[in-house]
Chain A
Amino acid sequence: MTNPTTSSGKLTLSGLPGRRARIAVEKPKNSKQVIFRLWKYLIREKSLLFFIVILLLINTGATLAGSYLLRPIINNYILPHNTPGLIRMILLLLSIYIVGSLAAIWQNRMMISVAQKTVSIIRSDLFSKLQTLPLKFFDSNNHGDLMSRFTNDVDNVSDSLNTSILQLFTSTITLTGIFTLMVYISPMLTVVTLFIVPFMLLVASRIIKKSKSFFTSQQVSLGIVNGYAEEMIRGQKVVKLFCYEEIVSADFEKINYELRNKATKAQYYSGVMMPVIQNLNTINFALTATVGGLLAIFRGLDLGGLAAFLQYSKQFGRPVNEISSQYNTLQSALAGAERIFQIMDEIPEIPDIPAAVSLTDVKGDVSFNSVTFGYDAGKVILNNISFGAKAGQKIALVGSTGAGKTTIINLLPRFYDIQSGQITIDGLEIQKIQRISLRRSMAMVLQDTHLFTASVMENIRYGRLEATDNEVIDASTLAGAHSFIQRLPKGYQTILRNDGDNLSQGQRQLLNIARATVAKPPILILDEATSSIDTRTEQIIQKGMDQLMQGRTSFVIAHRLSTVRNADEILVLENGEIVERGSHEVLLKQKGHYYQLYAGQFD
């Protein structure tokens, strides 16, 4: 918040509500480069920016000129009792002020439009970039952190584009203008100001330094409180079941007081700067009045000059304050921009090779030849995997948790690229197929069932955007989802919110199956797609599933062996290797891993 003590002149946006003073917590590592890239975004609005600068100069000039005019008005018209001259000067003053204000209005409006446009382009670029990034990126980056780049960092950039840059620019010009006019009116009196200004800057930089470090530790503390509260509120059922309420409250109290201690210091140092600088400026005003008075007595400084000078010295504190605080905001905005650009610089999914072909009329022959893969280069997850699926076959993958089943099916749509070996579809190596057409040839039902905020209809239609309502309903019927959807308050038009949190896990799985069904792909991948569906319902939808898999190559991962029994081939995985393969009957006769898994389910 700015201090209301000021003289005629510039007002700032920093007094606006909701625009909390942000103190830089960190510095950008490479300011120059970040500024350059931000500049490239801004410069798209070249002509508007040019006008803004012109208007800004007019506005600042008007303010400075208005204050200066006091001198001739007092000296040449008021003191010599020249009324007609005074009228002329008054009209001049009035028009200068009106022009200045009009310039200010236009300048602010234009800047907002430029800033919002820029921010919206940055946001949209960032989002588009996100869509191109490989899964590895999402695996290795915390979602909370990514979200914070979209929200906090973009906000920071937006704020500083909206106000800081303009403010910093205006303040610098104002300060230079004031200083020049001061020297012009009385060089000797300027010395007084020169004496106090370095002192102000010193105090400001001291306080800023302190407040920065306390803010950092406050943020850390806040993060801990936030994380703890989130964990405990999310796990509230467990807290209650174990009667842990009091222990949890006691722990919270500890970190809460830690936060209080840090926050008090941070608030103190960030709050104390503005008023103290303002007070120092009042000392400057007092000294100027005194010395000015003496100069008027002994050195014949004119009264009008003294009046104008005092106006200026009253105005002096504001730009100094602005510059030091906006500099801070700018720093944190640049740090935010840097984090945004970091994402923009992430390496996207490897582009399709130029010769990549588009798949048409996929038959669905899939084969893995000596495929070796690890998420991290050093750690092999899949070792020398080879198998083939002929068009229309059903391949089941079984094995204990962590055996590599999900990993195998993640390789098929090229979510990850293999380190060695070969994966082919209809005899074509998947690296030589356009990624879009590769992925369009298959539909996946994944282990974690996420839904979008949209109606049930739209969620299912996600599988094939041009599907008609009837096709969606047919797909749901086939997937066994139709009957429960009909019981929802608004049937297919029911809006799912928060990842479909009002649906049971099993119902969400049914929707996911329906989504894949409507896609009608040549290749179907089901990763534990029915794990939360009870066996009876599963039995009911089994017919639909069989119908769905008819004529499609399908890959099925399931814990429940009844689901995989009728597969053409069952692959048993252990520690990233295929240890057994064959049909259900063959594998049972072998009395190996599969037999044990199977027998265990029905003992």
Chain B
Amino acid sequence: MKEYFPFFRNYRKALILAPTLVIIDVFCEIVQPKLMSKIVDLGVSQKNMSYVLHTGGIMVALSLLAIAANVGNIYYSSHASVGFAAELRKGMFNKIQKLSVSNIESLSSASLVTRLTNDVNILQEVIMMSLRLMIRAPLMLLFAVVIAININAGLASIIAIAIPVLAVIIYYILRRGLPFFEKVQRKLDKVNATIQENLVNVRVVKSFVREDFEKKKFGFSNNELREISVKASGTVVLILPVMQLVMNISIVAIVWFGGNKIISGTFQVGQLMSFITYITQILMSLMMLSMTLMTLARAAASSERILEVLNAKVDIFDSPSAIEKNLTVKLGKVEFENVFFKYHSDGSEYVLKNISFTILPGETVALIGATGSAKTTLVQLIPRLYEVSKGRVLIDGTDVRDYTMQNLRKNVKLVLQQNELFSGTIKQNLKWGNPEASEEEIVTAAKDSQAHDFIQSFPKQYETVLGQSGVNISGGQKQRLCIARAILRKPSILILDDSTSAVDTTTEAKIRESFNGHLKDTTKIIIAQRISSILSADKIILLDNGEIIGTGTHTELMINNPVYQEIYNSQLLQKENEL
């Protein structure tokens, strides 16, 4: 709970005023039947017109006061609840920005968005409700009981029976019904997942003519959902009529006992009328109370999911000594010293095993290896997207953990395999590389990555708006933009993770050429499939299943590494024969 306190900070006034106003509202509301009974018992029976008018006037005035109180309550509670939600979202979002990649992966990025929106919304509703009903219902209950006892303690004993009966019934129905709702949610998720899969897989379904198969699959989970929904709602829906029944039986009891008291002259008609009103008030409040508690119970799940984010332990952060030293990357020397890595600390096998190598400043080094040989994993350790499990990654002789992440990543640019562009213009996207970049610098970077020409061919050129994740440009164009973005501020180390796979070979060669010019001093690490992309590398590192099985130049590897020869042959052999 206390994790939430800071998010209420700006709404303290509202937090106090809203409940206070509820108290006023409850007071105005609760005395109405009592006043009404006085009109009947004192005013009507004594034919006292001015008493009737006077009391009626008080009742109307109290109602008007209640309106004011209610409007105020809703005003303050909506400010407090929505404001809290906004602060909480901000807090969560900032926290997410601090989380490491593996943090985010373990929380699942799709679920993070749900937590940020749906779960926060649920808490918002709960707070809105708490600031009104959570206070109103118990107060109503309490006041109504006091007044009922005050009117007639004997009759009030009916309440003493009705309340526990109702409480027990509600408890049992909820205990039976609530678990169903969780199941409903699970089945619903399953149904939705099937739909989602069918949307993305539409070509597969159609090409294998599996429409009927999918319908059957869907029909099955849809039916399961229906059955469990009927059970869930069917149980909980009992609450209302059963509650109605208990209430009505209490009323009958009151009419019977109250009627007898009136007959024996110890009770009055007006009192009977108000007593009926109070007992319904009491039972209704009890009902509301149980409902709000139930909502709270369900919101607990959301709260848990939110707290998981807020309390997540950030596993990659700047160490105090790194901040103090404030080192920057200058030369671009990269060393791996007996590096081991696995994604989950409880994972059984290391993804990278005993990796050691040195790359000198300005060198071009190629990483090759089969699918799943952990090339991508390896390069992601350099800008510290993930933390080594054992061993050290050094840049310019200093452990990457001894740089602040900002200083490290400013000069180590990694172009990812599955790269992301963001909605916005091309220029805005490129500026990620350097928010202060001038027009000229942007154009130069675009030219170097062979993106300038196609950008110019768009009607709006650099101001062209890209859809979410750049959907309206081709894969090759996207890759070139990502490269331009990365080289906008000349990095000391540039890592290209299969970043030109969708670029045709001629263009790729041009990009390489411009690198040799403008990025001569930059250390370049290239992951590639095509042997042509790496022929000219100063060094080639050959990975297999997380281990280095060969290092050297193309010529060296051709002489002493059979696996490399195989790769080479798979691409070149026939070509040489034919040309």
Q: When each residue 273-301 of chain A gets 1 if its CB lies under 8 Å from chain B and 0 otherwise, what string results?
A: 00110011011011101111110111000
List 19 A-B pairs, Cβ < 8 Å: A16-B239, A16-B291, A17-B291, A18-B181, A70-B255, A73-B255, A116-B233, A147-B195, A229-B113, A267-B81, A286-B32, A286-B36, A293-B40, A307-B40, A310-B273, A413-B206, A463-B208, A531-B501, A536-B563
Contact stretch, chosen from B84-92, B157-165, B391-399, B438-446: B84-92
A230 interface hit (Cβ, 8 Å): yes
A238 interface hit (Cβ, 8 Å): yes
A327 interface hit (Cβ, 8 Å): no
B366 interface hit (Cβ, 8 Å): no
Q: Nearest CB to that of B373 among chain A residues?
A: A534
B298 interface hit (Cβ, 8 Å): yes
Whether A536 contacts B570 in the complex (CB less than 8 A), given A74-B269, A279-B66, comes out as yes
Q: Which residues of A contact B208 (CB under 8 A)?
A: 439, 443, 462-463, 519
Contact A108 B369 (CB under 8 A): no
Alpha-carbon distance A25/B287, docked complex (angstroms) = 30
Q: When each residue 251-277 of chain B gets 1 if its CB lies under 8 Å from chain A and 0 otherwise, what string results?
A: 110011001101100000100110011
Contact A138 B199 (CB under 8 A): yes
Contact A446 B204 (CB under 8 A): yes
Q: When each residue 87-107 of chain B gets 1 if its CB lies under 8 Å from chain A and 0 otherwise, what string results?
A: 001100110111001001000
Contact A536 B370 (CB under 8 A): yes
Alpha-carbon distance A226/B110, docked complex (angstroms) = 11
Interface residues on A, range: 35 or more
Q: Which of A1, A119, A306, A538 contacts B226 (CB 8 A)?
A: A119
Q: Which residues of B contact A32 (CB under 8 A)?
A: none
Q: Which residues of A contact B259 (CB under 8 A)?
A: 73-74, 77-78, 86, 90
A539 interface hit (Cβ, 8 Å): yes
In B474-503, the 8 Å CB interface with A consists of: 474-476, 485, 501-502
Contact B56 A290 (CB under 8 A): yes
In B484-527, the 8 Å CB interface with A consists of: 485, 501-502, 504-506, 508-509
B360 interface hit (Cβ, 8 Å): no
Contact B77 A271 (CB under 8 A): yes
Other contacts beyond A233-B109, A507-B371, A562-B571: 11, CB < 8 A: A113-B234, A120-B222, A131-B214, A235-B422, A237-B420, A290-B59, A303-B40, A311-B273, A532-B501, A534-B368, A600-B504
For residue B436, give the distance in angstroms from its CB to the closest CB of chain A: 12
Contact A151 B203 (CB under 8 A): no
Contact A8 B195 (CB under 8 A): no
Q: Which of B39, B63, B181, B226 contacts A116 (CB 8 A)?
A: B226
In B156-193, the 8 Å CB interface with A consists of: 181, 191-193
Q: Which of B77, B83, B201 contacts A260 (CB 8 A)?
A: B83
Q: Which residues of A contact B101 (CB under 8 A)?
A: 236-237, 240
Alpha-carbon distance A232/B31, docked complex (angstroms) = 55
Alpha-carbon distance A601/B574, docked complex (angstroms) = 13
For residue A511, give the distance in angstroms from its CB to the closest CB of chain B: 11
Q: Which residues of A contact B142 (CB under 8 A)?
A: none
Contact stretch, chosen from B46-54, B324-332, B334-342: B46-54
Q: Nearest CB to that of B118 among chain A residues?
A: A226
Q: Which residues of B contact A50 (CB under 8 A)?
A: none
Q: Which of A109, A279, A444 contacts B203 (CB 8 A)?
A: A444
Q: Nearest CB to that of A82 among chain B residues?
A: B263
Q: When each residue 272-298 of chain B gets 1 if its CB lies under 8 Å from chain A and 0 otherwise, what string results?
A: 110011001100110110010011001
Contact stretch, chosen from A36-44, A248-256, A424-432: A248-256
Q: Nearest CB to that of A295 among chain B residues?
A: B44
- Count of inter-chain pairs, beta carbons less than 8 A: 476
Contact A105 B242 (CB under 8 A): yes
Question: Which 3 residue pairs spanning A and B have beta carbons closest together?
Answer: A290-B56, A506-B371, A286-B59
Q: Which residues of B contact A16 (CB under 8 A)?
A: 236, 239, 291
Alpha-carbon distance A519/B32, docked complex (angstroms) = 78
Q: Which residues of A contact B201 (CB under 8 A)?
A: 450, 452
Contact B244 A104 (CB under 8 A): yes
B458 interface hit (Cβ, 8 Å): no
Q: When each residue 26-62 of chain B gets 1 if its CB lies under 8 Å from chain A and 0 otherwise, what string results?
A: 0011001001100110011001110011011101101
Whether A253 contacts B502 in the complex (CB less than 8 A), given A237-B385, A238-B420, A462-B210, comes out as no
Q: Which residues of B contact A505 (CB under 8 A)?
A: 371, 417
Q: When each residue 61-83 of chain B gets 1 if its CB lies under 8 Å from chain A and 0 otherwise, what string results?
A: 01110110011011101110111
Q: Which residues of B contact A465 (CB under 8 A)?
A: 210, 213
Whether A256 contacts B67 in the complex (CB less than 8 A), given A401-B502, A413-B207, comes out as no
B1 interface hit (Cβ, 8 Å): no
Contact A94 B269 (CB under 8 A): no
B333 interface hit (Cβ, 8 Å): no
Whether A13 contacts B64 in the complex (CB less than 8 A), given A601-B532, A602-B572, A603-B509, comes out as no
For residue B115, give the distance in angstroms from its CB to the closest CB of chain A: 10
Contact A17 B55 (CB under 8 A): no
In B411-425, the 8 Å CB interface with A consists of: 413-414, 416-417, 419-420, 422-423
Does more than half of chain A's interface fall in helix, strand or loop, or is it mixed?
Answer: helix
Q: Nearest CB to that of A93 among chain B residues?
A: B252
Alpha-carbon distance A247/B431, docked complex (angstroms) = 12
Alpha-carbon distance A602/B124, docked complex (angstroms) = 61
Contact A66 B248 (CB under 8 A): yes
B455 interface hit (Cβ, 8 Å): no
A358 interface hit (Cβ, 8 Å): no
Q: Which of A90, A297, A598 contacts B252 (CB 8 A)?
A: A90
Alpha-carbon distance A85/B53, docked complex (angstroms) = 35
Q: Nearest CB to that of A245 among chain B residues?
A: B97
Contact B195 A229 (CB under 8 A): no
Alpha-carbon distance A102/B233, docked complex (angstroms) = 17
Contact B85 A290 (CB under 8 A): no
Alpha-carbon distance A596/B117, docked complex (angstroms) = 52
Q: Which residues of B contact A402 (CB under 8 A)?
A: 474
Contact A150 B195 (CB under 8 A): yes
Q: Which residues of B contact A79 (CB under 8 A)?
A: 262, 269
Q: Nearest CB to that of A304 among chain B residues?
A: B269
Contact B570 A562 (CB under 8 A): yes
A45 interface hit (Cβ, 8 Å): no
Contact stretch, chosen from B147-155, B402-410, B551-559: B402-410
Contact B113 A267 (CB under 8 A): no
Q: Nearest CB to that of A81 among chain B residues?
A: B263
Contact A11 B243 (CB under 8 A): yes
Q: Which of B44, B256, B370, B413 contacts A241 (CB 8 A)?
A: B413
Alpha-carbon distance A248/B210, docked complex (angstroms) = 43
For residue A404, give the distance in angstroms from its CB to the closest CB of chain B: 13
Contact B237 A13 (CB under 8 A): yes
For residue B550, give the distance in angstroms from its CB to the closest CB of chain A: 13
Whether A238 contacts B419 in the complex (CB less than 8 A), given A15-B288, A253-B90, A597-B504, comes out as yes
